[in-house]
Amino acid sequence: MRILFTFVGGSGHFRPLVPLARAAAAAGHTVAFACPGRMVPAVEKAGFPALATSPPGGAPPDRLPLSAPDPQREERDLREHFARTGGRENTPVLLKLAGQWRPDVVVRCEVDFGAALAAERLGLPCAVVLVLAAGGFLRPGVVAEPLHELRAEQGLPADPRLRMLAGDLVLAPFPPSFRDPRFPVPDGTFAFRQGDPRPPAEGEIVYFTLGTVFNTESGDLFSRVLAGLRKLSAPVVATTGEHIDPAEFGPQPEHVRIERFVPQESLLPRCAVVVSHGGSGSVLGALAHGVPSVLLPMGADQPHNARRSLDLGTARLLDPVTVTPEDVEAAVSAVLADERYRQAADRLREETNALPGADAAVPLLEKLT
């Protein structure tokens, strides 16, 4: 069987697909990724053939001042950038790529709307991998207008309930209890864990990251958070991303290490707390190891993940716009001192460990054909 995995966006949309692609390849299936041109090196480095859906990445992103979280702005970006523009541009590209590569099944990230339209046009079964863990950000009402418009442009029948969003199979790479019950996953969703079962993390490291997109839109947030973390006695590891030079933050005390990138899987088993923006990958990565968080949500699905983490008792929340170094020091110290945060996070780790691995989803993909 030939399986075409597709995603838009960056690493946070690619990584949830990787365990499935590896499991499918291990089962003897032929896999490839259709992805933005700037992500081709990352896909190939992970060991997969990559089919670019856009030109290679250009200039580094601009460094932007931090904006106050604005849910309406973020939903507008999802509607106009991902659904309307992305769907309109990606659909013909994917129709062409699929015509050349001839997949039997398409597996897409949940915001790759162009892949959903292309698969339907070609009569191909399409599975959806959720990448917005808590739910609530992608709602039918947010993207209905452009998707109805694009369906008409592609000559597809009306879909008033937008069943296209769920495709033929929904795969959820996170523990079901993390999903906000106000935004349940579709019936029949198959939940799986992204890696091997993990023991509880054992270490004292405080890990700080703002991800790979919002890091360049964070203004002076790095400096403020680092100033607070420097006051801790615990060892601190901070990652800035490829477009921010750690040297710009000046000399650091011996217990603080700043790098562009550190493999998360090598660090999380030695962590006590993760300080992050609340992206799905960062939050779920920490919880998979039973590590609680201090969260500074800035946009996209981050506020939804932050609220759910607060509900579950696995994190403390801070306002990225107003947070002071003293606030950071106090929040991290409180999480380190209160065992209830780690206990709550460990319950999510145990739930994750109890899920089937990605290999269990491969027979479900096979049945789609």
Say which DSSP state 125 is in. -
Tell me what pLDDT residue 214 has: 73
Buried/exposed code over 112-140 (b: 16+ C-beta within 10 A; e: otherwise): bbbbbbbbbbeebbbbbbbbbbbbbbbee
Q: Which two tokens stand for residue 218?
A: 């964070």
Q: Which helix (H) or strand (E) holds 172?
A: strand 169-172
Q: What does the alpha-carbon distance between residue 161 and residue 154 come to, in Å, rounded to a whole number?
A: 18
Per-residue pLDDT of the chain (369 residues; tens, 9 = 90+): 999 999 998 899 999 999 999 999 999 999 999 999 999 999 999 999 999 999 987 667 777 888 888 999 999 999 999 999 999 999 999 999 999 999 999 999 999 999 999 999 999 999 999 999 999 999 999 999 999 999 999 999 999 999 999 999 999 999 999 999 999 999 999 999 999 999 999 999 999 999 877 776 778 999 999 999 999 999 999 999 888 899 999 999 999 999 999 999 999 999 999 999 999 999 999 999 999 999 999 999 999 999 999 999 999 999 999 999 999 999 999 999 999 999 999 999 999 999 999 999 999 999 999
What domains lie within the chain, and their CATH numbers?
A: 2-195+355-367 (3.40.50.2000), 205-353 (3.40.50.2000)
3-state class of 249 per DSSP? helix
Contact between residue 271 and residue 290 where contact means Cβ atoms under 8 Å apart: no
Largest Cα separation within the chain, whole Å, is 62
Structure confidence at residue 58 (pLDDT): 67
Query: What is the C-alpha to C-alpha distance for residues 132 and 73, in angstroms, rounded to an integer?
Result: 17
Whether the Cβ atoms of residue 117 and residue 98 lie closer than 8 Å to each other: no
- Structural tokens at position 325: 């170094």
Residue 211 has a pLDDT of: 84
Neighbours of 351 (CB within 10 A): 18
SS3 state at 31: strand
Displacement of CA 344 from its chain's centroid (Å): 21
Tell me how far the alpha carbon of residue 105 is from its chain's centroid: 22
Q: Please report the sign of the dihedral spanned by the C-alpha atoms of residue 66, residue 70, residue 73, residue 75.
A: positive
Contact of 349 with 11, CB cutoff 8 Å: no
The whole-angstrom separation of Cα 43 and Cα 241 is 17
Q: Which residues contact 83 (CB under 8 A, 6 or more apart)?
A: 113, 143, 146, 147, 150
**Number of other CB atoms surrounding residue 236 within 10 Å:** 25
Which residues, other chains included, contact 264 with Cβ-Cβ below 8 Å and sequence gap of 6+? 282, 285
| Structural Rg of the chain based on CA atoms | 20
Do residues 140 and 41 lie in contact, with contact meaning Cβ atoms separated by under 8 Å?
no
For residue 125 the two structure tokens come to 């079964």
Question: Dihedral angle at the C-alpha atoms of 206, 212, 214, 215, nearest 10 degrees?
Answer: 60
Exposed, middle or buried by CB within 10 Å (0-12, 13-18, 19+), for 272?
A: buried
Distances (CA, A) of 179 to 122, 130, 176, 259, 336: 32, 11, 6, 32, 25
